[in-house]
Amino acid sequence: MTAVSHPQAAPRFALIIVGDEILSGKRQDRHMAKVIELLTARGLMLDAVRYVGDDRPRITAALRDAFASGDVVFCCGGIGATPDDHTRQCAAQALGRPLEAHPQAVELIHERMRELAEQRGEVYQPEHPDNIHRLNMAQFPAGAEIIPNPYNRIAGFSVGSVHFVPGFPVMAHPMIEALLDGRYAALHGGQAQAERSVIVFGAMEASLTPLMIEIEAGFAGIKVFSLPSVDHPQYGRHIELGVKGRDPQLLAAFEALNMGLLHMSAKLGPEMVRGA
């Protein structure tokens, strides 16, 4: 697979997490935090997350948006072969393409089933109904490419920049990491940002808003953030006010923010620096 070079406008990264078990609370989502970790370690950032239950119209709508976005999207879950797995079918519907057996994915499933039969001391029977059913997991939208699964060789698949992996973190996370270090290696560092902030005591967000607007208008590529807290164990009621972006704009924007706060006679606490 050819590595992606830096485009004029680098793609954003997004995540879709599929499954009733997440929305019902039966299982806790472990994907978002890990994907943020993987991206951050490579100077990249997560731009959006979407949770969808096991509902075909909703999954199809989410995937239609993903294919149209131009973003790099990792979709976790629903690519198995049980009645509550709909992602493969919804991807095909969103693309207007048929599902087709991917020859390499089929062979990988045969290899896995043959290996399991040998471990049980049995003769592999490819025509057994259970094994035929498992081949449904090799049905991908026409034109898809496989994503190798190092855990059990049951492949995921990619269509363009939308990538489909299992819902199991032990499988999904190495597959996503391999994509980041392979296909998207050239993008590493392209979204690295840092933050500088200061604790502000006794101020209201409404009174700080004009200064925030002024800083964003005056420094291209800089975002201003305000994180109020009413019961912080150390600082009590306060606002963490800061800027995020890249140097040298970041430092200049933070100096302007501090100067504005001083002009307002704001009571300031510790400063913080995060990121690159």
pLDDT band at 190 (very low <50, low <70, confident <90, very high): confident
Residue indicated by tokens 């299982």: 27
pLDDT band at 247 (very low <50, low <70, confident <90, very high): confident
Give yes or no for a contact between 88 and 59, defined as CB atoms under 8 angstroms apart: no
Q: May I ask the CATH class of domain 194-275?
A: alpha beta
Residue of higher predicted confidence among 222 and 6: 222
Mean predicted confidence (pLDDT) in 53-65: 98
pLDDT at position 268 is 95
Q: Is the pLDDT of residue 107 over 90?
A: yes
Residue of higher predicted confidence among 9 and 57: 57
d(CA 155, CA 148): 5
d(CA 47, CA 63): 16
What would be the CATH architecture of the domain defined by 13-187? 3-Layer(aba) Sandwich (3.40)
List, for residues 129-161, the tens digit of each pLDDT value: 988 999 999 999 999 999 999 999 999 999 999
For the record, the structure tokens of 205 come out as 């967000």
For the record, the structure tokens of 15 come out as 């995540």
pLDDT band at 248 (very low <50, low <70, confident <90, very high): confident
pLDDT band at 6 (very low <50, low <70, confident <90, very high): very low
Q: Is the pLDDT of residue 3 over 60?
A: no
pLDDT band at 259 (very low <50, low <70, confident <90, very high): very high
Sheet strands (E) in the chain:
13-18, 46-52, 72-76, 99-101, 139-141, 145-147, 156-159, 162-165, 194-201, 223-232, 236-245, 267-275
pTM above 0.75, yes or no: yes
Mean pLDDT of the chain: 93
Mean predicted confidence (pLDDT) in 115-139: 91
pLDDT at position 9 is 62
β partners of residue 198: 241, 271
The strand order across the sheet containing 223-232 reads: 223-232, 236-245, 194-201, 267-275
Domain assignments of the chain as residue spans, ordered by start: 13-187, 194-275
CA 44 to chain centre: 10
d(CA 276, CA 128): 55
Q: Is the pLDDT of residue 49 over 90?
A: yes
Mean predicted confidence (pLDDT) in 244-252: 88
